[in-house]
Amino acid sequence: MSIDIQATREREVAQLIVEALHLEQTAESIDPDAPLFGEGLGLDSIDALELALAISQAYGFELKSDDGRNRQIFASLRSLTAHIEANRTR
């Protein structure tokens, strides 16, 4: 994937995060490499559930809570975007 396409996809997923979780920041302010949970964006487990639902609705595949890769998938905006691109059905 080219850098421009990757950046566009990351902004799209960042916007989904902002809208789904009603964050008070802009999609552009989310660092693609910063952690989504804890010290980074500060999301918690409830946010993860809401985000998984929004991703399911927007991209047509389900993120399962018992997937052992979730820590890696949700590590950052960049890793989440890569996972979405690899699994999306729409």
Q: What is the pLDDT of residues 28-62, one digit of tens each?
A: 999 999 999 988 899 999 999 999 999 999 999 99
> Domains in the chain: how many in total?
1
Q: Structural domain of residue 8, as residue ranges?
A: 3-87
Residue 23: name the closest of 6, 36, 7 by CA: 36
pTM of the shown model: 0.93
Classify 37 as helix, strand or coil.
strand
DSSP state, residue 29: G
- Give the CATH number, domain containing residue 83: 1.10.1200.10
Q: What is the pLDDT of residues 10-19, one digit of tens each?
A: 999 999 999 9
Cα-flanking dihedrals φ and ψ of residue 44, to 5°?
Answer: -125, -175
